[in-house]
Amino acid sequence: MSLSIFIIIPLLTVAGILLCKTHQQVKWVAVVGMSLQLLSAITLILMFLAERRAGNMAEVIFTQDYVWYQTLNIHYFVGVDGVSVAMIGLTALVVFAGIFASWDVTDLPREFFTSLILLASGVFGFFISLDLFTMFLFYELAVIPMYLLIGIWGSGPRHYSAMKLTLMLMGGSAFILLGIVGLYINSAPGGGPLTFDLIRISKETLPMDIQRFLFPLLFIGFGVLGAMFPFHTWSPDGHASAPTAVSMLHAGVLMKLGGYGCYRVAVFLLPQAAHEMGWIFLILATIGVIYGALGAIWQKDLKYINAYSSVSHCALVLFAILMFNQTAMNGAIMQMISHGIMTALFFALIGMIYGRTHTRYINEMGGLMKVMPFLAVAYVIGGLASLGLPGFSGFVAEMTIFVGSFQNADTFHRVATIIAASSIVVTAVYILRVVGILLLGQIRNPEYESLTDAKWHDKISVVALIAGITFIGMAPLWLSDMINGGLGPVVQKLMTAGN
């Protein structure tokens, strides 16, 4: 399978959108394009599984490698392993749902969908890239449309939030750039041509002083996008101001770029430094888990609640990655996927509720279960998944993480695990609080009696996401096996580095 279609389809969709005349055409072109993308992602998953079953155990498969800049040895090099296939599936699902969730965009629709899909193409490109240069190119391509999306179509203090988010994320990417160039310059310690090729660099052992310098750069750089405490401050403001589909995409997919980058670049390529300095970031991640959860309790705005909850869940991803063992890392990837779908569902629902009630403050609403049962039930399902109820994807992910992290037998890791695990209780508090105030009880505002339930396009978006959550919750084994296959080389490298 040619992986380049994951970049070509979005670009063709954008071209199609630019040719459209009317609002309706724009939406349908976007729907067709992203449905195709979702189908290709499902095909990719099936073909990948078939390939593995057939015994193709290469580290990355479906590779394509073209030389781009000869003298600098920059390649267009793509390929996937189990982890990236899972992330591509997640992205395709969330983007698909996002298109339907933004059905009501009327102001400059062409520009909106163009930016949204350009952003998506950046994300896809990032996940399939195996060359650090192209990876970084796609990374920035995914971040920049955010400025326009939040600034033009957002709500509240959108100009401020958009600027803050863009500058913080681009600040992070400045660190990443230096990290990547540093990796490139030191990519051939034994002589030979320098390379940006991720797989080739992973076969080398870089000098320790270089690793000590580059690891924090890369981990913090990607960590900013992964909402690592204390660099998470862009996230609540950004999510709260962003339009629905953008919040979905951002919390659901874009923040995963950060986690994936930490795992794929920082930890994988610099394992010795990761072992040496991981504890610093582990402390930060643990703080983030608790801090995000506690933050969510105090918020009154639905989007802020969900944004803080995302900070907490994404910190859990970094927490699990820094445990450096197979089980915990598997949990980390599962958590990324589970949280990606879950949080996209939440933001979609919040957007739909806001579109009807025109407020996001939970105190002003109540009894929505009576007027919009479909959305309310979906919200409860999302909430239950979020607090880790068995049968949903959240349970599988968090269970795996905590089992894995408890395998580290020393006091430091155990204490961190116990602290982080206690966030589950806090999560239950804020989820149930919202469900209680927002959905149950009496309708406080008589105007809400006449509100309508979800429309067909809302339903498509919600059902697609709920299907994802429950499917992974009920049948997690194929996914976790697929991820395990991808984790193998990384964990092995970490193990040898640790001894």
Q: In the complex, which residues of this chain contact another protein (CB under 8 A)?
A: 68-72, 74, 133, 136-138, 140-141, 144, 147-148, 151-152, 158-159, 162-163, 166-167, 170-171, 174-175, 177-178, 181-182, 184-185, 213
Beta carbon of residue 208, minimum distance to another protein (angstroms, whole number): 16
Picking from 91, 48, 86, the residue whose alpha carbon sits closest to that of residue 480 is 86
Beta carbon of residue 438, minimum distance to another protein (angstroms, whole number): 32
Beta carbon of residue 178, minimum distance to another protein (angstroms, whole number): 6
Beta carbon of residue 162, minimum distance to another protein (angstroms, whole number): 8
Beta carbon of residue 177, minimum distance to another protein (angstroms, whole number): 6
For residue 52, is it left (φ>0), alpha (ψ between -120 and 50) or beta? alpha
Picking from 214, 219, 226, 224, the residue whose alpha carbon sits closest to that of residue 257 is 226
Residue 436 and residue 369: Cα distance in Å, rounded? 10
Picking from 435, 338, 330, 449, the residue whose alpha carbon sits closest to that of residue 390 is 338
Return the number of the residue (134 or 306) whose C-beta is nearest another protein: 134
Beta carbon of residue 175, minimum distance to another protein (angstroms, whole number): 8
Return the number of the residue (143 or 482) whose C-beta is nearest another protein: 143
Beta carbon of residue 147, minimum distance to another protein (angstroms, whole number): 6
Residue 464 and residue 341: Cα distance in Å, rounded? 9
Rounded to a whole number of angstroms, the CA Rg of the chain reads: 22
Residue 253 and residue 235: Cα distance in Å, rounded? 13
The torsion defined by the Cα of 479, 379, 252 and 116, in degrees rounded to 10, comes to 130
Beta carbon of residue 154, minimum distance to another protein (angstroms, whole number): 9
Residue 128's φ and ψ, nearest 5 degrees, are -90, -15
Return the number of the residue (238 or 331) whose C-beta is nearest another protein: 238
Indicate the DSSP class of residue 131.
B
Return the number of the residue (97 or 180) whose C-beta is nearest another protein: 180
Return the number of the residue (1 or 170) whose C-beta is nearest another protein: 170
Return the number of the residue (196 or 430) whose C-beta is nearest another protein: 196
Residue 189's φ and ψ, nearest 5 degrees, are -65, -25
DSSP string covering 338-399, please? Answer: HHHHHHHHHHHHHHHHHHHHS--BGGG---HHHH-HHHHHHHHHHHHHHTT-TTSHHHHHHH
Residue 210 and residue 313: Cα distance in Å, rounded? 31
Return the number of the residue (66 or 298) whose C-beta is nearest another protein: 66
Q: How far is CA 400 from the centre of its chain?
A: 18
Return the number of the residue (8 or 435) whose C-beta is nearest another protein: 8
